[in-house]
């Protein structure tokens, strides 16, 4: 199908973009990997597209104290291949290998994936797992939003019209990590995916972070499972218990791909596999 | 809007509406009909081209976004009368078949070999998974890509 007509402006600066976004019915165009298909299918009908692809100042990866800050317009492929990301936020680098194919990662951006807020997408779940901070600029200035507060529902965030996501700050987390994902086609969006990082000290769990995609209206943080692991020796029995807590945290949808009960069961199966992989 | 870009080394320019996808612009406005359009939502890979040195789905980009860009379509793979080593390998190994998905597959295979000169069969299959080919179980295509990999480009 073909898109309906819309106006188009190429923003020359962040200020420019924010000013253009003040127009009702306007929408940001980043990598276009979700938005252009939605336009083609007429599931999105903006009156104005504000193209931010010329904003080079929003494309960077930099180590900043205990954080890695990544500009919203950084292409997913650049994040995936960044040495800093591979070393300091390995969960993010690993997750990117599940995000579409190279051709879509070459264009798709980090900010676009978060702003799109697909509950089955990997990058929002990684942001939630790692307590990333989302930097936003709008007519009222800048604000910083915790990833867990950022996602409101399927394809809904707390961004207000006129606001631009400018960067994401990930805490440095060189922990053991693992991802287990079930999808219908290779590299497709997840039916269910579990993301874990585990730090151990003296043979016990010092810190675990667990998030699930595809099992609720937003990415889900499995807090009870994390607390259960804390301070424990990570033997099979403990991991099995944690897997049940992961499943209990989910609130999965039923749709034509899978019923809720199946997704919940898979959250436990994948969660246990991911934890086992992370702790060896 | 007027869009000016380089396609296969040639400067090109045409007028189009902002809603025109790059795939339609290349095919209909500039005549590069080797850009094939299947699903128009990024899944099938038929429209894959090379944009500023990296593969992209031409159906998931607007033509206006390609202003000033450097594009290579399948028409630009061969040099003069010489087929690209991948095209040669596809011919030898019967990887061409009906040819609908082939231009996109060639773009992806060229990018794979540029970053990984000797990919394993699994790596070739992973790269090809972004392309839906209706003609086969992919075996001939995999054979062709691996044959091109062992040949000096
Ligand atoms: C075939 C295919 C397979 C895919 N598979 C996966 C997958 O497995 N996993 C996955 O997670 N994703 C997948 N995707 C989607 C992914 O590729 C997109 O990159 C991503 O969801 C959107 O990023 P984008 O930069 O392309 O944003 P766009 O498509 O340009 O924008 C998406 C939305 O975010 C808004 N937006 C973008 N940037 C900003 C900003 N800076 N500030 C405010 N709002 C903004 C836009 O207005 C729009 O509403 C797939 C896409 C395709 C075509
Ligand atoms: S037509 Fe572009 S991916 Fe199918
Ligand atoms: S060669 Fe016919 S669709 Fe792939």
Instruction: Give the pLDDT confidence of B60-102 residue by residue, as tens digits.
Output: 999 999 999 999 999 999 998 899 999 999 999 999 999 999 9
Rounded distance, CA A15 to CA A19, Å? 6
pLDDT at residue B153, rounded to an integer: 53
First to last CA, chain A: 48
Using the beta-carbon criterion (under 8 Å), do A33 and B127 form an inter-chain contact? no
Report the C-alpha gap between B26 and B30 in whole angstroms.
5
Q: For residues B119 and A7, what is the distance between their CA atoms, to the nearest angstrom?
A: 44
Q: Enter the ipTM.
A: 0.95
CB A248 within 8 A of CB A214: no
Is B138 near ligand 3, meaning CB less than 6 Å away?
no
A35 lines ligand 1 (CB under 6 A): yes
Contact in structure between A187 and B128 (CB atoms under 8 Å)? no
- Closest Cα to residue B23, out of B56, B1, B53? B56
Give chain B positions within 8 Å (CB) of A11: none
Pocket test for ligand 2, best of B43, B49, B56, B108 (most atoms within 8 A of CB): B43
Contact list in B for residue A53 (CB cut-off 8 A) is 65
Q: Which pLDDT score, from 0 to 100, does residue A216 have?
A: 95
Contact between A110 and A79 (Cβ < 8 Å): yes
How do the pLDDT tens digits run along chain A, 280 residues long? 899 999 999 999 999 999 999 988 999 999 999 999 999 999 999 999 999 999 999 999 999 999 999 999 999 999 999 999 999 999 999 999 999 999 999 999 999 999 999 999 999 999 999 999 999 999 999 999 999 999 999 999 999 989 999 999 999 999 899 999 998 877 778 899 999 999 999 999 999 999 999 999 999 999 999 999 999 999 999 999 999 999 999 999 898 889 999 999 999 999 999 999 999 7
Name the residue facing B56 among A10, A37, A106 (closest C-beta): A106
Give chain A positions within 8 Å (CB) of B108.
101-103
* Total number of residues shown for chain A: 280
Is the CB of residue A97 less than 8 Å from the CB of residue A126?
Answer: no
Does the beta-carbon distance from B19 to A100 stay under 8 Å? no
Which atom number of ligand 3 is nearest to the Cα of residue B96?
1
Of A6, A32, A100, the CB nearest to B61: A32
> Are residues A32 and B60, on separate chains, in Cβ contact within 8 Å?
yes
| Number of other CB atoms surrounding residue A39 within 10 Å | 26
Pocket lining: B135 vs ligand 3, CB cutoff 6 Å: yes
Which residues are paired to B10 by β-bridges? Answer: B7
Optimal mutation site among B4, B5, B18, interface A, most CBs of chain A within 10 A: B18
Q: CA of B114, closest CA in chain A: separation in Å?
A: 13
For residue B140, which phi and psi values (nearest 5 degrees)?
A: -65, -35
Average pLDDT over residues B30-44: 96
- How many whole angstroms separate alpha carbon A112 and alpha carbon A117? 9
Q: Which of A208, A278, A215 is nearest to A249 (CA)?
A: A215
Of B57, B62, B112, the CB nearest to A104: B57
Q: How far apart are the first and last CA of chain B?
A: 39
A6 vs B18, B45, B127: nearest CB? B18
- Count CB atoms within 10 A of the CB of residue A205: 21
Neighbours of A148 (CB within 10 A): 17
Which pLDDT score, from 0 to 100, does residue A197 have?
Answer: 97
Q: CB distance A102–B108 less than 8 Å?
A: yes
Q: Residue A184: what pLDDT? A: 84
Classify B97 in phi/psi space as left (phi over 0), alpha (psi -120 to 50) or beta.
left
CA distances from A102 to A17, A29, A127, B10, B127 (A): 28, 20, 21, 26, 8
Tell me if B42 sits within 8 A of B57, measured CB to CB: yes
Q: How far apart are CA A147 and CA A124, in angstroms?
A: 8
**What is the pLDDT at residue B142?**
96
Number of H helices, E strands in chain B: 5, 5
Sequence-distant (6+) residues with CB within 8 A of A20 are: A9, A11, A26, A48, A50
Collapsing DSSP to helix, strand or coil, B54 comes out as strand
pLDDT band of residue B150 (cuts 50, 70, 90) is confident
Single pTM value for the model? 0.96
The answer to whether the beta carbons of residues B128 and B104 sit under 8 Å apart is: no
Centroid of ligand 2 to alpha carbon of B58 (angstroms): 7
| Residue A151, SS3 per DSSP | strand
Q: Whose CA is closest to A168, among A134, A117, A194, A202?
A: A134
Which among A103, A113, A183, A188 is the top mutation candidate for probing chain B, defined by the most B β-carbons within 10 Å of its own β-carbon? A103
How many Cβ pairs within 8 Å bridge chains A and B? 91
């Amino acid at each position: 199908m073909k898109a309906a007509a819309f106006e188009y402006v190429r923003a020359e600066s962040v200020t420019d973009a924010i000013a253009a976004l003040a127009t009702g019915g306007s929408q940001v165009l980043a990598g276009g990997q979700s938005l252009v298909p939605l336009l083609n299918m007429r599931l999105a009908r903006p009156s104005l597209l504000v193209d931010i692809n010329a904003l080079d100042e929003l494309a960077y990866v930099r180590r900043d104290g205990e954080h890695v800050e990544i500009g919203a317009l950084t292409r997913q492929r650049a994040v995936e291949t960044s040495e800093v990301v591979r070393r300091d936020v390995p969960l993010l680098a690993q997750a990117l290998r599940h995000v579409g194919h190279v051709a879509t990662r070459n264009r798709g951006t980090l900010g676009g994936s978060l702003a799109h807020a697909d509950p089955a997408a990997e990058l929002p779940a990684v942001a939630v797992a790692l307590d990333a901070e989302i930097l936003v600029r709008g007519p009222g200035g800048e604000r910083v939003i915790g990833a867990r507060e950022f996602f409101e529902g399927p394809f809904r965030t707390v961004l207000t019209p006129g606001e631009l996501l400018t960067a994401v700050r990930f805490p440095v987390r060189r922990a053991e990590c693992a991802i287990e994902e079930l999808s219908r086609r290779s590299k497709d969006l997840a039916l269910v995916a579990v993301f874990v990082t585990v730090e151990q000290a003296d043979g016990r769990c010092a810190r675990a972070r667990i998030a699930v995609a595809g099992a609720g209206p937003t990415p889900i943080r499995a807090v009870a499972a994390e607390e259960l692991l804390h301070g424990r020796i990570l033997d099979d029995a403990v991991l099995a218990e944690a897997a049940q807590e992961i499943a209990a945290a989910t609130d999965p949808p039923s749709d034509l791909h899978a019923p809720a009960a199946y997704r919940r069961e898979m959250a436990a199966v994948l969660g246990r596999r991911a934890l086992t992989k992370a702790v060896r | 809007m007027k869009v000016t870009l380089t396609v296969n080394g040639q400067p090109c320019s045409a007028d189009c509406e902002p809603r025109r996808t790059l795939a339609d612009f290349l095919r209909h406005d500039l005549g590069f009909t080797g850009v094939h359009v299947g699903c128009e939502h990024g899944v099938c890979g038929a429209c894959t081209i090379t944009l500023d040195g990296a593969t992209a789905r031409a159906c998931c980009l607007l033509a206006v976004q390609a202003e000033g860009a450097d594009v290579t379509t399948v028409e630009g793979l061969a040099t003069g009368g010489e087929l690209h080593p991948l095209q040669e390998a596809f011919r030898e190994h019967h990887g061409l078949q009906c040819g609908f998905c082939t231009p996109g597959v060639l773009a992806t295979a060229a990018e794979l070999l540029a970053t990984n000169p000797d990919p394993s069969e699994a790596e070739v299959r992973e790269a090809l998974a972004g392309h839906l080919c209706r003609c086969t179980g992919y075996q001939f295509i995999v054979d062709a890509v691996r044959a091109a990999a062992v040949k000096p480009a």
